[in-house]
Structure 1
Amino acid sequence: MRLRSRSTVLAASLVLALTAGPLVAPAFAAPTATVTARAAKTVPDPGALQAALAGLPDSDATAALVRVGGTDGSWRGSAGVHDLASGRAADPNARFRAGSTTKVVTAATVLKLAAEGRVDLDTPVQHYLPGLLTPAFKPISVRQLLNHTSGIKPGDGWGDDFADQYAHRFDTITPEQVVASAVAKGPEFDPGDQQDYLNINYTILGMLIEKVTGHSYAHEATRLVLRPAGMRHTYFPGTDPVIHGPHNHGYQLVKDADGTTRFVDVSDWNQADRWAAGDMISTTADLERLITALFQGRIVPEPQLQEMFTVPANITGATYSAGLERFEHKGTVYWLKSGARYGYSTAIAATRDLSRALVYSVNSTDAKGESANPVAERIIMATLKQQPER
């Protein structure tokens, strides 16, 4: 299977109209929320946000945690269940698999090392990791790994569908094996010619971090990013399949041969192959701390911080920067990152000035599907909906 961490459809969902609600199962717990508005021209619409979480659990999601923040006002909400067996209300402070939002941390770690003079963004990765790539690859700069213009093809995994992967959920594919399988395929295109969002770029960046610092990726990412941002409930699990600490269970909705469907608990899963590209476990509060600290310049200093807000100018249709994706809606630019692991869909987004920020974790029942999760769509549209300050 191609280990391609798709950008899901978060950016596209920002402009989708609200569709008909999903098939609603009996709700075990009503959504809970708090709202605090500060001085601003517009504030979050609490009614729309509350409605976005109504009816959980259902066939699309078993829980959802939402934090809307920024200088325009704040809102907190949660809905659904901790697990289907007990029906206990979802924990609003729960940990979850944050998926590709891990890339924001990895990018910030590399940029912090660049600010310290330990990494040159224009130097080829072949200089830092000699022998990793074959002579078939032209020089690939660190910056080209950061913005997904390297031309390296994706690595291989356990299979092409949920059943294949679920059967190996406790087995390990190392980052080295992932990279070796990608390198063996040769380049997809010349560095800098195109943009193709892939995990492999950030897996190699994880290796670069370890080579430059002499410490593990988890150690350096924690030291340079998590700790300064105050992310006390975030960690990197490695080969450990368990989410430690309070967490809401994740499920995959599976259709059997006889046409019936059932929920399969996918909370426990070895994510070693995702590593620096997507194995982080976090909370909505910690992810809000991350995006706030980053955008305020408290993690990565200028001028390196500008890499996170710069997309390649010479590539038509490019939207990815170092760790983030640019999206413009009604004249407002949002910088965002989504992530998806089985059972969990996550996103962080904010305007550059932090007037509006969004973090959500949706316990999606088809987190790796090709379509947007209806609950996530409703959250996004509700976040964009504003009401005049009273």
Structure 2
Amino acid sequence: MPKTAHSAPAATRRTRWTALVLAGAALASVTAGAVLPASATELPGAPGTAAARAYHPVDTAALTALMKPDAVASGTMVRVGGTGPGWTAATGPLSQDPAANFRIGSITKLFTSTLVLQLVGEGRFTLDTPVQELLPGTLPAHWEPITVGQLLSHTSGIQEPCVAFVDGEAPTPEQVVAHWTDPRCAAPQYPVRVQRYNGANYFLLGMVVEKVTGRSYADEIRRRIARPLGLRHTYSPKPGDRTVPGPVLADGGEIEPWAWAEGGMLSNAPDLERFITGLLRGRLLKPAQQRQLFAMPALSEGAVDRFSTGGLMRAEIGGTVVWGKTGSMGRSTSGVFATEGGRRTLVHSLLPAGVDRDLMRGRVVALVGAAL
């Protein structure tokens, strides 16, 4: 998930490790036969079912080797779930509590896209509705119409901002969007020829959710997703709230106070596992929107990262198609992925030990390959 167009404006903030491209990357080599970490825990499953037998066992030896602190990551948390036996472990300076909380960064976008697809299913608007109709006056009058569907699938053509935030400020969503629409910055690229990941798309979608529902983004997350799925540790914090309730997966690190519907939520591994499973199994969306969740737009061909019409990242690793999202916040980079129907799920979080994106990319791909 390349971060040149991720949660924060790349030109104005420090590098946030959301540039973990999965599609097309080669699996990193792993050492077989390693001993399981002492903290590893078997999770309940249903190994006797036909669905479980259809999937390979979790490669715990490979995962254990990949999780050993090294020059790529000083610590790693992994939780594998779905059908069949699960597995969880943490290494390095990460909490050994399997329910430790953390900022999920751009994984937040999956929650935002789910809200938007729910509203589409309710007939509040369509994927072809221009955002200018829903948020009049928010975008410059001379811009071409940008549809809800283009925002969801990162095909809006919106460019990177050219003005900086003041360190420590917690701007409103409207102020954040104003950075992308400043007349000194480049206008959207027309015609759009390929997907280009950009956090501005999801700030606008969060604003659409609030305008159409008349409720706050945080309220809609709680009402439409967290409560129905029983996610007790998943929420959107109040503006400017930098705290993470204990137990905390990793201490320290700068926290962006403004990421909101684009990258500001908190959760934990069990909740994210339940969310991706519920999403992929159709518990949150109507059938038509469930199909949109997996439809791949033509502009995704050739993109660095490929996103569905509904905002899901799609990657093929070791011959297996996986769906999910990566995200970063503070010191850590995290992700949630699943195979079709949520039959096997992976939640991971790493503490990067360096600045080599290719090495981190390979590590994430290898974790996904060993788990799914």
In structure 2, what is the Cα distance between the partners aligned to 1:188 and 1:347? 29
3-state SS of paired residue (2:200): helix
Tell me which residue corresponds to 1:182: 180
Inter-partner Cα distance in structure 2 for 1:339 and 1:209: 21
Q: Which deviates further from its counterpart, 65-74 or 286-295?
A: 65-74
Name the counterpart of 2:202: 202
The answer to whether residue 121 in structure 2 is matched with residue 107 in structure 1 is: no
On the 8 A contact 1:155/1:182 being kept in 2, the answer is: yes
Answer whether contact 1:106 1:276 (CA < 8 A) is retained: yes
- Tell me which amino acid in the other structure corresponds to 1:74: G
Q: How many residue pairs get matched? A: 344
- Match status 1:370 vs 2:324: no
Q: Which residue of 2 aligns with 1:32?
A: 40
Q: Note the 1:8-27 alignment, pairs <5 A.
A: 8-12=19-23, 15-18=26-29
Which amino acid letter does the alignment assign opposite residue 179 of structure 1? V
The equivalent residue for 2:307 is 320
Moved over 6 A (4+): none
Match of 1:337 in 2: 325
Is this contact kept in 2: 1:288–1:359, CA < 8 A?
yes
Mapping for residues 275-354 of structure 1, pairs under 5 Å = 275-314=260-299, 316-318=301-303, 319-321=306-308, 322-354=310-342
Question: What is the correspondence of 1:1-390 to structure 2 with a 5 Å cutoff?
Answer: 3-4=9-10, 8-12=19-23, 15-18=26-29, 30-34=38-42, 38-39=47-48, 40-41=53-54, 42-54=56-68, 56=69, 58=70, 60-82=72-94, 90-155=96-161, 158=164, 168=167, 170-184=168-182, 185-190=185-190, 192-237=192-237, 238-250=239-251, 265-266=252-253, 269-272=255-258, 274-314=259-299, 316-318=301-303, 319-321=306-308, 322-365=310-353, 370-373=357-360, 376-384=364-372
Report if the CA contact (8 A) 1:109-1:224 is conserved: yes
For residues 74 and 303 of structure 1, what CA distance do their matches in structure 2 show? Answer: 31
Structure-2 separation of matches of 1:6 and 1:247: 19
TM-score of the pair, normalised by structure 2: 0.83
* Residues in 2 aligned to 1:32 and 1:157: alpha-carbon distance in whole angstroms: 46
Q: Is the 8 A contact 1:10 1:338 kept in 2?
A: no
With over 3 angstroms needed to count, the CA separation of the structure-2 counterparts of 1:219 and 1:114, relative to structure 1, is same
CA contact under 8 A between 1:95 and 1:233: conserved in structure 2?
A: yes
Give the partner amino acid of 2:96: A
Q: Is the 8 A contact 1:137 1:186 kept in 2?
A: no
Stretches of structure 2 that go unaligned for 5 or more consecutive residues are 11-15, 32-36
Give the aligned partner of residue 25 of structure 1: none
CA-to-aligned-CA distance 1:56-81 (integer Å, 9 cap, x gap): 4x554443221112225422222223
Q: Give 1:199 deviation, angstroms.
A: 0.4
Any conservation in 1 of the 2:101–2:246 contact (CA below 8 Å)?
A: yes
Structure 1 residue 11: Cα displacement? 0.7
Contact 1:14 1:380 in 2 (8 A): no
Q: Closer, same or farther in 2 for the Cα pair 1:74/1:243, shift >3 Å?
A: same
Q: Deviations over 1:289-333 (max 9, x none)?
A: 110000111111110122221121255324211221111234432
Cα pair 2:101 2:249 within 8 Å, conserved = yes
Structure 2 CA distance, aligned partners of 1:296 and 1:43? Answer: 21
Structure-2 separation of matches of 1:211 and 1:344: 32
Q: How far does the alpha carbon of each residue in 1:62-115 deviate from its partner, in whole angstroms, 9 at most, with x for none?
A: 432211122254222222235xxxxxx533211111010000000000001111
2 CA distance for matches of 1:175 and 1:247?
27
Distance 1:286 1:13, change over 3 A: farther
Where in structure 1 are there 5+ consecutive unaligned residues? 21-28, 83-88, 160-164, 251-264, 385-390
Structure 1 residues 128 and 203, CA gap change in structure 2 (3 angstroms)? same
When the two chains are superposed, the root-mean-square deviation of aligned CA atoms in Å is 2.8
Paired with 2:133 and 2:187, the residues of 1 have a C-alpha distance of 18
8 Å Cα contact 2:75/2:350 also seen in 1 = yes
The answer to which of 239-248 and 181-190 deviates more is 181-190
Query: What secondary structure does 1:371 align onto?
Result: helix
Contact 1:140 1:191 in 2 (8 A): no
% same residue: 38
Give distance in 2, aligned partners of 1:222 and 1:13: 36
Task: Please give the secondary structure, in 1, of the residue aligned with 2:358.
Answer: coil
- Provide the C-alpha distance between the structure 1 equivalents of 2:162 and 2:24, rounded to a whole number of angstroms: 29
CA distance 1:187–1:95, change in 2 (3 Å): same
For 2:34, the equivalent position in structure 1 comes to none
Q: CA deviation at 1:372?
A: 4.0
- Aligned letter for 2:59? D
Q: CA deviation at 1:204?
A: 0.4
Give 1:278 shift.
Answer: 0.4
